[in-house]
Structure 1
Amino acid sequence: MKGTDTNEEGEEFDFHILLSWGPQTFSNDDTSITVPYHSATFFVGEDKKIQWTGAFYDRTKFVEAYDEDPIK
């Protein structure tokens, strides 16, 4: 996906976004959990340097697999 935006100085710039998704598996000796994830990588400018990247996933399976939420 690509587009154009304006920065704080009012200059227009091009950007590209790479989207990916799939399963991610986490495991230890007793438990294995596979969760769906989505990832976005944001590239800016003519040289297309990475500005930021982020991943998003549903924590429901984590909470179901443990007595307590392991992340909180």
Structure 2
Amino acid sequence: MKATDEFSEYYNELLDGTYDCVDRIVINGYYPMLHTGGGFRSWWRLLTGSDEQLDDTHLMRIAGRFSRRLRHWAEHN
């Protein structure tokens, strides 16, 4: 694959194919702790301090906040 910019050159080994117009970036990550029996619950406790708010509403809220913050950062950078 031919890298055309600094980002592509840096991540060349991890990229599949090329695209000349950036309209979205997909970040795939692997966090081993979240793939174990109680890993997600343990991560949530580290993040919030307890399991009290571990429900769909709070998970969607945290995902929305992350999305808005990432979009805001991307617009300004």
- TM-score, normalised to structure 2's length? 0.23
- TM-score, normalised to structure 1's length? 0.24
More helix as a share of residues: 2
More strand as a share of residues: 1
State the structure with bigger RCO (CA 8 A, min sep 6), 1 or 2. 1
